[in-house]
Structure 1
Amino acid sequence: MPDTSTAHGPAPRTLALRPLTELLASMRFAIALLTVICIASVIGTVLKQHEPAVNYVNQFGPFWAELFLALKLNAVYSAWWFVLILAFLVLSTSLCITRHAPKYLADLRTYKENIREKSLQAFHHKASATLTGEPPQAAAQRIGQLLVSGGWKVRLQQRQTAAGDGWMVAAKAGAANKLGYIAAHSAIVLVCLGGLLDGDLMVRAQTWFGGKTPYAGGGLIADVKPEHRLSERNPTYRGNLVVAEGTQSSTAILSQSDGVLLQELPFAVELKKFIVEHYSTGMPKLFASEIVIHDRATGQATPARVEVNHPVNYKGVEIYQSSFDDGGSKVVLRARPLVPGTEPFDVQGVIGGSTQLTNMGSGEGATLEFTGLRVLNVENFSGTGASGSGADVRKVDLRESIESRLGAGNKTVTRRELRNVGPSITYKLRDAAGQAREFHNFMLPVDTGDGQPVYLLGVRDTPAEPFRYLRVPVDSEGGMDGFLRMRLALADPALRAQAVRRYAATAVDASRPELAEQLALSAERALALFAGALDDAGTPSDTRPRSGLQAISDFIEGNVPEPERARAADVLVRILNGALFELAQLTRERAGLAPLPQDAATQAFMTQAVLSLSDAQAYPAPLAFELRDFTQVQASVFQVARAPGKGVVYLGCALLIVGIFAMLYVRERRLWVWLAPGDSGTQATMALSTNRKTLDADREFVQLGSKLIGTTPPHGGT
């Protein structure tokens, strides 16, 4: 390399680079980088990473979603700016080590025995004494041996003075403090390098320079083109591998913000059996997979068992039990019409598949997508029912309140009542325009605490919303047929009129026909409002803007003076309940069933039925699909990772622990004792230097002074 210096000093280029080097190697620059990394890590923890773009739009809106995607906040740890900050942190820390490590290492080898005797008077810890009857050389030998026995490293130096030969005893201890600095800073470099190696950097590099592009389509894995596949020689990756029982797979999926990449593995994983064990409450306690690893190069089959927190390593690839999924379970659904014009029918499907429906009753077809089957559903039923009221404000027991929050870490002031409510099916109904709603229906009825079991029919418009459930009461035969018959009969004007006549005939004495006629008119209007056949003014409506109990409320507010609304509402609701009861009896008669008895069970059924009929008007589909039968096929979701930087990170963590311990708990001390001949004996001057001023250093100096030269330091030196 040519010499860039001149006779007058360093070259201008060297002078220009010096401020940049000083900046990169400064502590302020490193702290600023660490602050930005901490902020980015918080964002990456709070904001879900690698989600589809539509999820960010649904949650934050188009503007913020576009901003997050532009700043790569949806993939913080693989964003170019995050990788660049890590690279600058590695560079900054490396420069710090390069600049200071040689000085520290040189300092470890020196004893600084050449210090002048007058300089010892400038130390904070200093003391002087006269050693009678002991020449300087003997005193130096004695002091040196005492220090060595105490764990100090000692060097003796003989000097010529006007009064004779003097001796300097130079000792040092706690040199590991300087090594701690080097170890801690080296640990930061190693951890960052290991993170870069095990992160998304290698995969990103292949997309930037290797011609690889994420795949955003669908279909079979075998049909994906090579430009979306990564070689099995890829040095680092982390992806998911989904394997159904009885099948095997050798291609992992690496999620990217704009699609997926397929990672070829050097082996295939065959799932023999997926094992899940549960507690008595239904909560899972063990996930495990019995697998066979088939080596693609040799054909060797290696059985193994993968459990949560117990991965399997094969040829440098870790196989973790990440989750579980459906492996293509077969289901049988029963379509239950909620509007007239459609008969019940059965449909079969496979989870993950779909089927076309033409008999929806609404005049339009739809696609039924089978999205999920859950055999176990553990729900918390604490606080439901009559006993689930809040705290009694009339009684405040301070001791009980304190003890309820102390003790075991798993103690909670909220009572939990976990219960398995059985299987459920999740499906989507997608219309011709591509818009879909998601439905979640339970197979078995659920008692929510009020004594009336109900079938839960859930629906939501977007994945970001929680499910809203229609509660269908269980009839006396143990199904939902009674409610569905009432639902269809409510939409039939002829059946409503027949139910009104029966109600008027049974509620009014036959000797008062004029009263029976007035009651029939009121009941007919109440049923029509409830069914959505009348508008708020009480006139016939084809669009049915409102129905259910809300329509009754709107009618009363628009037609009854405010002082009389409470009494009118009570009368109208009684009439509505009576007419609906007769409608239920009429539907049972038409179905060939015995009439409902007038008991508490019937009253509970009718109370829930009125509420459910009111809510059912807002149910967005003409059909509800009931899970009738299923054959479960389970699948394991494995995380496969090749992490060559893991050992580097572990080494960095070990160095970080050692370095911090050394810097915090190891004190570097240097001790000098100058021994010179004097008129009345050997004149001893002692000084102590330490990197931290502590009470321990003061006490140690007092002990050393008394032990080595037989005196204590003057006031102010302790």
Structure 2
Amino acid sequence: MTVDNKSQQELQDTTAGLPAKGTSSFSLLIEFLGSMRLAIMLLVIIAVSAVIGTVLQQNKSYSDYISEFGSFWFEVFNALGLFDVYYSWWFIIILGFLVLSVSVCVVRYAPIMIREMREDRLTVKLLSLRAFKNNKEWQSNHSESETAAKAEEYLQSQGFKVKTKKQDGHTVVAAKQGHWNRLGYIFTHVAILLICLGGLIDGNIGLKFKELTGQVTIGKFNEPVNAKSILEISDSMSFRGKMDLAEGDSKENTFAIIQYRDGLLFQKLPFSVRLKEFKVFYYSTGMPKTFQSEIIVKDNDSGKEFSRKISVNHPLRHRGYAIYQSTFGDGGSLLKLNLTPMLSLKEKVIEKDIKIFRSYTLDVPAALAPNRIANKKQLEITGFKPINVIPAEKSKIEMPGKAVLQEHSTDVRVVRDKKFRNIGSSLTFKIRSANGQAQEYVNYGLPRVKDGVTYLISDMRPKLNLPIKRYFFPLDKNNSPKRYLMFRQMVLDRSQVKKLIQQYISQSGIGRQTQQPGNNKATNIQMKIAESINKMFYAFVRGGQDAVTQEMRKTFPTNLRPEKQKIAETQFTKTRTFFLSSIAGILRAVYYDALALEGYNNSDELTEFDKKFFVFSTQALLRSEDYPSPYFVQFTLKKHIESSGLQITRAPGTWFVYSGSGLLVIGIYMMFYVLLKRVWVYVYPANDNNGMNVVYAATCNRPDDSVAEYFTVLGEMCAKSIVDDKQQI
């Protein structure tokens, strides 16, 4: 048996120390767990899972997933645990099987590899050496012991570990180099084992079991905290939770909030945290550069407390927990709201002092309700940003003058970088009806300017899964939206518009040729024209001139002969021009009525500002009919309170993963870059008893041309070190 065959036989003896193969179900189970096919299959599944966990953003809110994938695929993906891949039941089971498989491999193969690594292989046969690819033979005129000693001395000088054994009729010098290569295989397997163990430890198997048995219940958003949603310190080996600390709040926080699937869990901590000071540092663009918190930590057991500053990438580690500076935001700023009625300016403007993240009840009078029935709504204040910075090329609009900027400023920061622009503060809120339906709004506090008219912007999302719509609210010279809202209210008052249309037709003489002398009543033709103008007027309000064209096309004849089609198109253009001219006249009449409430007379000539205001208000009016809020919300900042967002983690498995990763790098390096080289020098007497025959042979675990060349040179130099100068090799 050759050396290579012997090694192969030892590696095939995989049941050493275990029941013989085929003798029991246990041995079959061990054979299955230790098989290469199982390990490769598990690693492939984990790799695919990692791809899914990377491509599909993990742990978003369920409403976001429903909006992105739809309810059907959401249910499918949720059942498969794809929204939290690394903590799903099937991923934990795969990790468990991989731990078993790798453990069996380590237990079975590690002793064989260590034994092979330590083995010197001094019992090699002469025929086996001559069968090696890298071999050489020569004669030495020295004695057997002297020849072996010279070979041993040379190989040691080349960094080999050498052993010599004299046997019956011959002496074998066995040398090895890089025999630690075998540890690479062991280190690699142990590294995978450690990484998987770290994943299992941080996979919270205990918490999943308690949830399965009903000991733990997931809390719901916007609901009172359930006692079963509170986790004791021992309930969860690892977690990643958050804690928001507001400036000026002296309350000691002892819970980390964990977002768990579609709900919340509250993790008790062995210490409390409160915020002492919070600072934000900014770039010249106005964007945050870094932010830091000075927190006070008080240990629950000893009662000792200490202060420490933390910032991004510089966490505090205490008792196996890590406290990271994660985010910052609003901590409950105080604002003053002006609620201007949208549908009836006879109602008073409501002034209300509010705090961010609070809810308030709105009593909506019948005059402001679309169905003219008084009701109550909830005003939910969900966020405030004192500054909004966007690239300048995305905001090619004129900003108001210094006086307006100072009046509406909520932040002292100045954006010095001309590539960016601060578009002012914003307030985010929801208005929720009694049936639970809500619209989300983002109102901006800093006015913009277009063609000399200042205006405010309000973004509205009719449903949380629908895109945002943008609405404009022009401001008069008093920086108030009242004039525009009155104009809008009159335009949407269909009975008043109907009267104005009739007056417009009467004054312009449309259809008068069919009227009997002395009869001032509108003819049937005038009534039909009035109905058509009214229809086209509100089509214009919904979508502008394009909407008027589309509405006309519904009754426009098609499939006519070419000559008639041309005549019909000409008539269509004239009719469209008539409708647009009539709509413009009626809008001017409505605008004059709105100005009359401010003391204007019809005989007064409009100022340049009033003309521009009318044009811009008409543009802003388009598609504004579906703005559902009963009030237009303006805000003034009274006190800005910031909040420091901390992330608190506990991950004992991290050190297993780190250790395994380091060991994996070492193992892979040893496997691929450390070559196991073995060299033998076989010395035996020549047949004519004139000196010694020397046989040199070498092998490597990864032979290639460079290794073969190295062994050739090594053999020649070894021969030169043994024979005399006068001898020929």
- Which of 613, 617, 625 does residue 617 from structure 1 map onto? 625
Aligned equivalents of 1:109, 1:459: Cα separation in 2? 75
Alignment of 1:369 with 2:370, yes or no, is no
The offset of 1:311, in angstroms, is 0.5
Instruction: Tell me which residue corresponds to 1:242.
Output: 244
- Which of 569, 580, 597 does residue 590 from structure 1 map onto? 597
String of CA shifts for 1:563-586, please: whole Å, max 9, x gaps. 444454455445544553554455
> Equivalent residue of 1:464, what SS?
coil
Question: Where does structure 1 lack aligned partners over 5 or more consecutive residues?
Answer: 1-8, 388-414, 505-512, 522-532, 712-718
> Using a 3 Å threshold, how does the CA distance of structure 1 residues 552 and 541 change in structure 2: closer, same or farther?
closer
Aligned equivalents of 1:160, 1:520: Cα separation in 2? 137
> Equivalent residue of 2:645, what SS?
strand
- Which of 277, 282, 288 does residue 278 from structure 1 map onto? 282
Point out the more displaced range, 682-691 or 49-58: 49-58
The offset of 1:185, in angstroms, is 0.8
> Equivalent residue of 1:334, what SS?
strand
Alignment of 1:58 with 2:60, yes or no, is no
Aligned equivalents of 2:180, 2:463: Cα separation in 1? 60
Instruction: Tell me which residue corresponds to 2:187.
Output: 183
Equivalent pair of 1:77/1:200 in contact (CA under 8 Å): no
String of CA shifts for 1:420-463, please: whole Å, max 9, x gaps. 2111111111111111111111111246x988654221111333
Instruction: Tell me which residue corresponds to 1:348.
Output: 353
After superposition, where does 1:520-531 map in structure 2 within 5 Å? none
Alignment of 1:232 with 2:233, yes or no, is yes
After superposition, where does 1:368-517 map in structure 2 within 5 Å? 368-382=379-393, 417-446=419-448, 454-492=455-493, 516-517=508-509
String of CA shifts for 1:137-180, please: whole Å, max 9, x gaps. 2222122122112211001111222xxxx221111111221111
Q: AA paired with 2:458?
A: L
After superposition, where does 1:87-236 map in structure 2 within 5 Å? 87-131=96-140, 133-161=141-169, 166-208=170-212, 211-216=215-220, 218=222, 224-225=226-227, 227-234=228-235, 235-236=237-238
> Using a 3 Å threshold, how does the CA distance of structure 1 residues 553 and 101 change in structure 2: closer, same or farther?
same
> Using a 3 Å threshold, how does the CA distance of structure 1 residues 570 and 630 change in structure 2: closer, same or farther?
farther
String of CA shifts for 1:286-312, please: whole Å, max 9, x gaps. 121111111222222211111111110
Alignment of 1:662 with 2:670, yes or no, is yes
Aligned equivalents of 1:541, 1:431: Cα separation in 2? 32
Q: AA paired with 1:355?
A: Y
Instruction: Tell me which residue corresponds to 2:640.
Output: 632
The offset of 1:56, in angstroms, is 3.4
String of CA shifts for 1:331-350, please: whole Å, max 9, x gaps. 22222333236442222322
Q: CA RMSD in A?
A: 3.6
> Using a 3 Å threshold, how does the CA distance of structure 1 residues 694 and 345 change in structure 2: closer, same or farther?
same
Aligned equivalents of 2:444, 2:77: Cα separation in 1? 37
Aligned equivalents of 2:501, 2:379: Cα separation in 1? 39
Aligned equivalents of 1:338, 1:673: Cα separation in 2? 102
> Equivalent residue of 1:433, what SS?
coil
> Using a 3 Å threshold, how does the CA distance of structure 1 residues 454 and 539 change in structure 2: closer, same or farther?
closer
Question: Where does structure 2 lack aligned partners over 5 or more consecutive residues?
Answer: 1-17, 399-416, 514-527, 557-567, 722-729
> Equivalent residue of 1:297, what SS?
coil
> Equivalent residue of 1:382, what SS?
helix
Instruction: Tell me which residue corresponds to 2:43.
Output: 34
* TM-score, normalisation: structure 1: 0.81
Aligned equivalents of 2:434, 2:487: Cα separation in 1? 30
Equivalent pair of 1:342/1:359 in contact (CA under 8 Å): no
User: Identity of counterpart residues, as a percentage?
Assistant: 31
> Using a 3 Å threshold, how does the CA distance of structure 1 residues 357 and 254 change in structure 2: closer, same or farther?
same
Q: AA paired with 1:76?
A: V
String of CA shifts for 1:109-151, please: whole Å, max 9, x gaps. 11111110110122122222233x3333222212212211221
Alignment of 1:269 with 2:269, yes or no, is no
Instruction: Tell me which residue corresponds to 2:295.
Output: 291
- Which of 505, 529, 549 does residue 553 from structure 1 map onto? 549
Aligned length: 646
> Using a 3 Å threshold, how does the CA distance of structure 1 residues 135 and 638 change in structure 2: closer, same or farther?
same
Q: AA paired with 2:327?
A: S
String of CA shifts for 1:164-219, please: whole Å, max 9, x gaps. xx221111111221111111110011011112212332322343458222222645
Aligned equivalents of 1:519, 1:177: Cα separation in 2? 103
Q: AA paired with 1:242?
A: D
The offset of 1:22, in angstroms, is 1.9
* TM-score, normalisation: structure 2: 0.80
Instruction: Tell me which residue corresponds to 1:694.
Output: 704
Aligned equivalents of 2:573, 2:281: Cα separation in 1? 55
> Using a 3 Å threshold, how does the CA distance of structure 1 residues 596 and 262 change in structure 2: closer, same or farther?
farther
The offset of 1:644, in angstroms, is 1.8
Aligned equivalents of 1:607, 1:286: Cα separation in 2? 45
- Which of 19, 25, 29 does residue 34 from structure 2 map onto? 25
> Using a 3 Å threshold, how does the CA distance of structure 1 residues 302 and 178 change in structure 2: closer, same or farther?
same
- Which of 250, 254, 270 does residue 258 from structure 2 map onto? 254
